[in-house]
Amino acid sequence: MSAELLTVDTVAAYIASRAPLAELVDVSTLSVVEVGDGNLNLVFIASDAAGASLVLKQSLPYVRMVGESWPLSQDRILAEARGYDAAIALSPESSPVYYGFDEPRRIIAIEDLSDWTVWRRSLNDGRITPGAAAIIGRHVARIGFGTSVFGRGPADVKRAIAASINIDLCQISEDLIFTQPYIDHPDNAWTPGLDEAVRSLREGGLIDEIAALKHAFVTHAEALIHGDLHTGSVFVPADGSTGARIFDIEFSFYGPIAFDLGSFFGNVLLAQQRAAVLDRPAEFQDWLDGLIAEAWDAFESEFRALWPSRVDASYTDAFLDGWLRQTWSLAVGFGGAKAIRRIVGLAKASDIESLEPSDHDTAAAEVLRIARSWVERRESIANAAELSTVGR
């Protein structure tokens, strides 16, 4: 049975009924707006006359971007609550403040970051936000290390894997990222100018490489990952200062740590091609070109810094070197797959979609060309400097 859905008219009474939330805002002067512009959920901002505010997120019993014809269990918000529990425990400074979870109503409450900007929008506007990529890299390292067999005992990890299965949303990722872009599927769509570029994805060995990446996604139950860590899942400060807050964790499950890094890499590629076609200033494009190195370097440094605290010393230093190499290659491959899906399949990205038609096709074709190289050459691309030259 579905949990009763909130509306702008019932949010104040709901907050009043939840003592920890009622302490955060004055419910007698509350104004409420529904701001959900993502693909799946209801999101409300409740603000009082003195300026105090909070955000409520409730899962709908269907996929918002499609409608009730695509039912989806509201249970997915359990994964988001687990994701916040881990993020708050292991990487609190790069997470919104988490005010808790109402399991029966399928509602989580978090800090209102309305005075921040979703990073994708800020990138689309050509704004430099220093240090955000490093924060993402450190965040992935801290949660990846802390929830894996490096940071927790094996029995604990096995229990966590069992507790964090997220069947419906993993199925969405498997379908939208690794399957549908490479077959005829009604949810795929592209402009006529991209026809040849898209059709050619099915030629040569790309689908075999995508199969290997899909297998890694489905079977590498390594750590509790975010599962959808694109630039639309990150808030950055609107004033250009350094910071990042990672949100929207409903796709979390025990999967490959490289998937979160790759999700970010693929979205950087979208931002880069948008910037190139719009001829953004060199300073902005150069900064974009450094984001993957910034994220990876921070990830690797943080992981190496945490390594001496691992709970099982039978994982040797040489093993770590090999694991990092593997994680890098896999992240590059996932990055390519994530970029391709945003051009071909359901749920596209505004970086490319908001471009004028001719710019759109130029940028999208470049994304496909470079992303393909990332996937196919991922094992031989040594580092971020080399990655930045691939396909260019």
Considering the complex, state which of residue 112 and residue 228 has its C-beta at the smaller distance from Mg ion.
228
Tell me if 260 contacts ligand SR1 by CB under 6 A: no
**Residue 38 beta carbon to Mg ion: minimum distance, rounded to whole angstroms:** 5
Report the half-sphere exposure of 143 (CA within 13 A, side-chain side). 34
248 interacts with Mg ion by CB under 5 A: yes
Residue nearer to Mg ion on the CB measure, 209 or 248: 248
Span 143-172, contacts to Mg ion by CB under 5 A: none
Q: Which residues pair with 143 in a beta bridge?
A: none
The option from Mg ion, ligand SR1, none interacting with 43 (CB < 5 to 8 A, set by class) reads none
Helix (H) or strand (E) holding 99: strand 98-102
Give whichever of 161 and 347 is closer to ligand SR1, judged by the CB atom. 347
Provide, rounded to whole angstroms, the least separation between the CB of residue 48 and ligand SR1. 30
8 Å CB contact between 123 and 131: no
Pick the binder of ligand SR1 from 46, 86, 109, 176 (CB under 6 A): 176
- The gap from C-alpha 160 to its chain's centroid, in whole angstroms, comes to 21
Best CA proximity match to 224, nearest among 168, 304, 313, 140: 140
**Contacts (CB under 6 A) with ligand SR1, residues 337-356:** 347
Cα–Cα distance for residue pair 230/81, rounded to 1 Å = 19
Between CA 284 and CA 287 the distance in angstroms is 5
Q: Minimum distance from CB of 350 to Mg ion (Å)? A: 13
Q: Which tokens in the block code for residue 87?
A: 């993020």
What is the full DSSP assignment across 123-165? HHTT---TTHHHHHHHHHHHHHHHHSTTTS-HHHHHHHHHHT-
Binders in 43-72 for ligand SR1, by CB under 6 A: 63
What Cα–Cα distance (Å) separates residue 290 from each residue in 134, 253, 260? 11, 29, 18
38-67 residues in contact with Mg ion (CB under 5 A) are: 38
Nearest approach, Cβ of residue 124 and Mg ion (Å): 17
Is residue 110 close enough to count as binding ligand SR1 by CB under 6 A?
A: no
How near is the Cβ of 9 to Mg ion at its closest, in Å? 26
What is the closest distance, in whole angstroms, from the C-beta atom of residue 173 to ligand SR1 in the complex?
6
Helices within the chain (DSSP H only): 11-16, 19-22, 76-90, 119-124, 132-147, 154-163, 167-173, 195-199, 206-219, 257-277, 282-289, 291-306, 317-344, 350-353, 357-377, 384-387
The residue among 142 and 230 lying less far from ligand SR1, judged by its C-beta, is 230
Stretches 50-58, 171-179, 202-210, 361-369: which one binds ligand SR1 (CB under 6 A)? Answer: 171-179
Least distance in angstroms from the C-beta of 232 to ligand SR1:
7
Structure tokens at 361: 């096709």
User: Shortest Cβ distance from residue 177 to ligand SR1 (Å)?
Assistant: 7
Q: Which of 239, 281, 40 is nearest to 122 (CA)?
A: 239
Q: Which of 48, 222, 228, 302 binds ligand SR1 (CB under 6 A)?
A: 228
The DSSP letter of residue 9 is T
Distance CA 119, CA 139 (A): 16
Number of residues that bind Mg ion (CB under 5 A): 3
Stretch that binds ligand SR1, among 89-97, 170-178, 309-317, 372-380 (CB under 6 A): 170-178
Residue 52 near which of ligand SR1, Mg ion, none (CB within 5-8 Å, type-dependent): none
Longest CA pairwise span in the chain (Å):
63
Residues in contact with ligand SR1 by CB under 6 A are: 39-40, 63, 172-173, 176, 228, 347
Residues in contact with Mg ion by CB under 5 A are: 38, 228, 248
